[in-house]
Amino acid sequence: MHESDQPVTGPDPSAPSTTPSPGVAAGVMATIRKHPKAWIAGAAAVVFVLLGTGSVALGATVGGPAAAVGIPSTSTPTPTRTATPTPTPTVDPARPVPANQPAATRIRTCSVAGLAADGRLGSLEAQVVNAKTGQTLFDRNGVKPGPTASVLKTLTSAAALATLGPDYRVSTTVVAGSTPGQIVIVGGGDVTLSRLPDGQASFYTGAPKIQDLANQVKQAMGGQQITSIVVDASLFGAPFWQPSWDEREERVVEGSTPYMTALMVDGDRDDPTAVESPRSTDPVARAVQYLQQYLGTSVGVSQGVAPAGARQLGVVQSQPVTTLIDQAMRVSDNTIMEELARLVAIKNGAGNTFDALNAGVLAGLKGYGIDTAGIHIADGSGLSADNAVPPSYLTQLFIKVLNRQNGLGVVYDGLPVSGKSGTLGPGYNRFTGSSSAARGAVFAKTGWIDHGYTLSGIVNAADGTPLTFAVFALGNVGDNAKQAIDSLVTGFYNCGDNLSNG
């Protein structure tokens, strides 16, 4: 009969006593005194058995009626073990818990700090980015907007590609006037239209000819006499000279920039084949003079607007925007870039004056997804000191140029190459001496205005890392700032992805 079969009501007087008698106890003690070692070993064995069977004694002490200590008889069931649940770990709220540790940051050890401290650089604004990872490696006032000089042509090009499209061509047309024999020449803004006759190449590659336009008009007139010429150059609004430009220096002495009218020939150069040549005081008059010459007429000329819906008598077109950008970037041509900026502003509905360029160009740049905060556009060429662009914008834009996104590959292809081509090529004293180590590895747009020398573009570094960079040397700087810039950029080339910001 199991203990659990019947309730316990009291001691059974017939059951044998479990309490040892005094005689038995005395005998046990005598045996222990005679054989103490044996009894100690036996006691140890009993403890071992008790530990092996679980915490019997502990259970008897802590919970329920106490059970007899000893080996259970065969008639007594062995208790079933209950697995002890694994405790849920808790955190002492007073004890700080370590957060997940951030990934280790690479320590870069190649410093250009000494080159960046060159006094020839004046007030330095610069930034270098790993074009693959987007990580900024070097920064000196990189988010501070500053005058870009001709580096601004990169932004104008990007806006033109986005707004006008790479295949857009600029037209110059002649239409019938409001009276018999009257013709109207309409300037579309093409600064490349050339006065040179067929067979003679002007400065601008593949330029359309005003001679061709005159021949089309004569054919369309069918022998009818031309009675008067009206000039419609209303596409571009006044003023035609940006107030912040130095007119004597740029238009007359250096001959880099004309009055920006919607009708001109050869960028209004005195010498139609030269990179730079003095410009006139009336580009429109010069263009009309050659139209009259090729028409074989000296009839009167007046300013006006073409009649709506007038019959077209002739049209010539410029090279596509991609070709215009390529040439302007290689030789830093101000005239093409002023044309493109004005056409961008008109197409974007901002207006047709210099004051419209900021809103127009920024609208053209919007689609590239780069923050334009701090940018101010005063002209399209970068000639004005009022332009302001942070180096950080350029390093981001040149990543897109490098990757040829949105048709920007044409900008990359037109960039001067260190020691080899364009305004970084032979004859410009760039990347010479110790800086010749980076010869052929820097693709960048140059810039120079009073109180500023700039360079921005792409470096194929010695370790194979593509870097984008912008360097502005501003303030009290001289012509030797160019060599200091070249040395710093060569430092970028030598360091590559190991370039440090220290």
The count of C-alpha atoms lying within 13 angstroms of the C-alpha of 421, restricted to the half-sphere facing its C-beta, is: 16
Q: Which residues contact 380 (CB under 8 A, 6 or more apart)?
A: 152, 153, 156, 337, 338, 339, 340, 341, 342, 357, 361
Catalytic residue among 256, 318, 332, 392: 332
381 catalytic residue (yes or no): no
SS3 label, residue 444? strand
Q: Are 189 and 262 in contact (CB under 8 A)?
A: yes
Rg (CA), the chain: 45
Q: Which residues contact 65 (CB under 8 A, 6 or more apart)?
A: none
280 catalytic residue (yes or no): no
150 catalytic residue (yes or no): yes
Q: Are 448 and 149 in contact (CB under 8 A)?
A: yes
DSSP secondary structure string for all residues of 197-230? PTT---SSTT--BHHHHHHHHHHHHTTPPP-EEE
Q: Which residues contact 443 (CB under 8 A, 6 or more apart)?
A: 412, 415, 416, 417, 418, 457, 458, 459, 460
Q: Which residues contact 186 (CB under 8 A, 6 or more apart)?
A: 172, 173, 174, 175, 232, 235, 306
Q: Are 402 and 412 in contact (CB under 8 A)?
A: yes
Helical pair 391-402 and 153-163, crossing angle rounded to 10 deg: 50
Q: 141: closest CA among 115, 111, 116, 112?
A: 116
Residues noted as catalytic: 150, 153, 332
